Chains A and B, each alone.
Chain A
Amino acid sequence: MSSLGVVAISLLATLATFTRVAVTIIASIITGWFLGYAAAKNGLVERVFLSVTQTLEAVPVITFFPIVLVFFISSIRGYFGVELAVDFLVFTAVVWNIWVGEYESIKTISQSLEDVANMYKLSFIAKFSKLYIPATIPRVAGNVLVSFADGLFYITVSEVIALGTKSYHVFGIGSLIFSWVNMGMWFDAIVALMVLVIMVIVAVFGVLRPFVNWAVKYSYDPYAEAMRTGVRRQTPSRIRASLARNMRYIRRITAAERALIPTFVRATSYSIYHRLTVRPRPVNVLTRFDKYIAVGIGSLLFAFIVYGIYSSWSTTWLPIMINIYNNWVTYLYYLGLDWFRILLVTVTAMLVAIPVNYLMVTRPKLEAMILPILEVLASIPVSAYLPLVAIPFVTYLAIRLGLRISLEILVFIVAFLSTAWYVIYNMYVGMKTIPRSLWDVANNLNLSTWYKLTKLAIPGAMPATITGLASTVGSTWGGLEIAEYFQGINGKVYMVNGYTALMDYYTATGNIIGLEAMSLILAINVILLSVFLWRSLFAMARQRYRMEGAISM
């Protein structure tokens, strides 16, 4: 193949992949308007919505992918079934942030704006187009970059899935790189990766960044409430100011407020900040008709999703139970191993994030340098270049350290790369939103760096860090999934002892029952964690580290 042909095919494949991500993101946005509305207006829907999203947000979607694939392939045959399965997977990866964001935006619309809409008898459509949809735009913008990165990660993995002897492909950059590496076409694979990297940069700086900048129009003050008490104004206005930088008609912002914060972080921080400032508000007076329409649409969507999950389970429950009975010790042991890896990765990511963020927050010049790099790195999915680097890396290291340890190191690095950005960003937001006056006090009292870190920066960053933790754990699972088990050339398999490795192995050998058994255990595990760990962690973060004037939750 000519090198021009390689570039052309890589370009097409990248576009195919991007289209999938874009379609799923747009689908999430549109469905989120109705679901978010229904949840914001109806107490019952709200309760269901919140518990479902909170649980599923922390679910490592990717580990359930084979099950999803089985369901889609058995109900919709052929390429289309695989395509739908892949899209569904990406949908479940990107949707929660967007949905929750939209719900919270609608929920926090100031009462007086709703009053105005009611007073002047705005129709259902007018209310959506003039009030609810615009109100969600800043949060959507805040989530779109994260969702894009997330979506790319998951899609590049899921474009190729081997289920037993059968292997399913959809055309995309992930499957392209994978198959070229498998055929030993290293040069072509590297070219394809370069094309992907360039396209990611184009997408981030050419499409998503302008979108975020445009969204500033919608970002007035969701903090009308906050303004009333005065103090809380500082951070949003700073973030808003930097959001607004490119808008030509913003002239009145003072120079000091124009902190240089790159788009990705701006958007993320906006989104997380907003998320942290959400307060419950009483359900509004609405005409019944309005309510029924939205609640109806929302419930339908929801029922559809629940049915999809249910139907893939309904026929095989008995063999699954037997499988669990026979293997539960192994399963739990491997689960423990993976949780240990996750803990290790998360702690390491935090230890890295603390000094990096502290430097960025205290030194604007460094901040301006580091953040754009992070922004691009975060959007290039590990899963795309893993097939390229994994084998050379492990082979090189194995000579010195032995295969087992080098595989462990690879797993650690991949999981770290899948997680670290999110931990850094979340913590960055937390530190960024510490009120300026507290930094002034710390400087004024001549506190040492150590004290500034331990008494101010770290506790101040805690709520945002912890709130982001549930979703970062999801990403870590994704990293484990791709690194614990992978195929080398000539069908040679590299794997470590781990839960996702075993799931991958079951997938590759077509052990559907075992796979479903493991998925079930993992699902229960995740739900238990959501109920017992995350919620109490969030509650702790809220009470213990709540900072007056910075973040109120």
Chain B
Amino acid sequence: MELVDISFSYRTERGPLQVLRGVSFTVYEKQYVSIVAPTGTGKTTLLRIIAGLRKPDTGKVILMGDEVKGPTPKISMIFQDFALFPWLTALENVEIALLHKKLSKDDRVKLARRYLELVGLGGFENYYPRELSGGMKQRVAIARALAAQPILLLMDEPFANLDAITAEGLKSEIYNMVFNEESTVKAILMVSHNLGEVVELSDRVIVLGGRPATVIADISIDLPRPRSPRDKEFQEYLDMLYSEISKSMELTSVVKVNSK
């Protein structure tokens, strides 16, 4: 997946407000890439642009050689608020991702069941979202995202709405859930503001900063998995990220002062 020179502005009452300028980077196969940035830098907007849910002002998104021109199941997204349809059961929620493939009802149910089992929710098919815990909800959302058989998986703060213990459990499993023989996912792009989880999970970290935001750092994390926050190297990466982030925040605030 390649991002070429993406710029984006919000229309506000006081005229356009540019949030992204000339953002370019490439995500390669089998990579788990994270985007970190201070709040309000347009991370979520960037993900939505990549998913084809929003059109950028300039630039384009290229997936396996083809330009992404609109929403497509090839790029699946997992949301911070889970985005489950409250009136549909867990199984029906996963089926949503399969509706566009003209499958028979039986095949669709069978496939949806398989993905629910893959995320460890076998037996919970007929539960409604409100009857599930936060972690289970996010698992349903992951099952749905995988069921669409995407090439690229986008995750917008996937662990932010979970309690710390549940988040830990899910983090330790997510890598294997997604990069697994049954999954079609070739790469993951995650947005997060939790640097610990970023170092724990990612192969590469992209730091956005400034206003409008641009890529200010691109760091590879070369650590064996599973990773432990107690490792010295883990801490070094963490420190490095923190310093990049504070640089980017300085950048942001300097721009703010100047624009006044």
Contacts and interface: CB of A to CB of B under 8 A. Distances in A.
Contacts, number: 86
Nearest to B10: A282
A240 to B, nearest CB: 8
Interface stretch (A118-126, A171-179, A186-194): A118-126
B79 A112 contact: yes
Given A112-B81, A119-B71, A121-B72, A252 B131 contact: yes
Interface in B134-149: 144, 148
Nearest to A252: B131
A287 B53 CA distance: 11
Nearest to A221: B86
Contact of B73 (A120, A219, A220): A120
A42 to B, nearest CB: 16
A228 interface: yes
B100 A285 contact: no
B77 A110 contact: no
A118 B83 CA distance: 12
A522 interface: no
B215 interface: no
Nearest to B89: A217
B91 to A, nearest CB: 13
A130 B88 CA distance: 8
B86 A115 contact: no
Nearest to A131: B85
B81 A120 contact: no
Given A119-B71, A119-B72, A220 B86 contact: yes
B86 A122 contact: no
A224 B84 CA distance: 11
Contacts of A219: 86
DSSP majority for the A interface? helix
Interface residues of B, number: 34
A207 B163 CA distance: 41
B86 A121 contact: no
Interface in A106-142: 110, 112-113, 115-123, 126, 130-131, 134, 137
B86 to A, nearest CB: 3
Contacts of B71: 115, 118-119, 121, 285
A224 B79 CA distance: 12
Given A120-B148, A252-B131, A115 B83 contact: yes
Nearest to B148: A120
Interface string B227-257: 0000000000000000000000000000000
Nearest to B80: A112
A297 B148 CA distance: 32
A119 B86 contact: no
A228 B81 contact: yes
B249 to A, nearest CB: 22
B68 to A, nearest CB: 11
Contacts of A110: 81, 83
Interface in B158-203: 161
Best-buried of A112, A116, A220, A227 by chain B (most CB within 10 Å): A116
Given A119-B72, A220-B87, A130 B129 contact: no
Nearest to B154: A119
Contacts of A112: 79-83
Contacts of A123: 99
A420 to B, nearest CB: 35
B25 interface: no
Interface of A: 110, 112-113, 115-123, 126, 130-131, 134, 137, 217-221, 224, 227-228, 249-250, 252, 285, 287
6 smallest beta-carbon distances between A and B, as pairs: A220-B86, A112-B83, A121-B100, A134-B87, A112-B79, A118-B71
Given A112-B82, A119-B73, A122-B99, 5 more contacts: A110-B83, A112-B81, A115-B77, A116-B77, A221-B130
Interface of B: 48, 51-55, 70-73, 75-77, 79-83, 85-88, 96-100, 128-131, 144, 148, 161
19 contacts: A112-B80, A113-B85, A116-B79, A116-B144, A118-B53, A119-B53, A119-B148, A120-B148, A121-B72, A122-B96, A122-B100, A123-B99, A126-B99, A130-B85, A134-B88, A217-B87, A220-B87, A228-B81, A285-B71
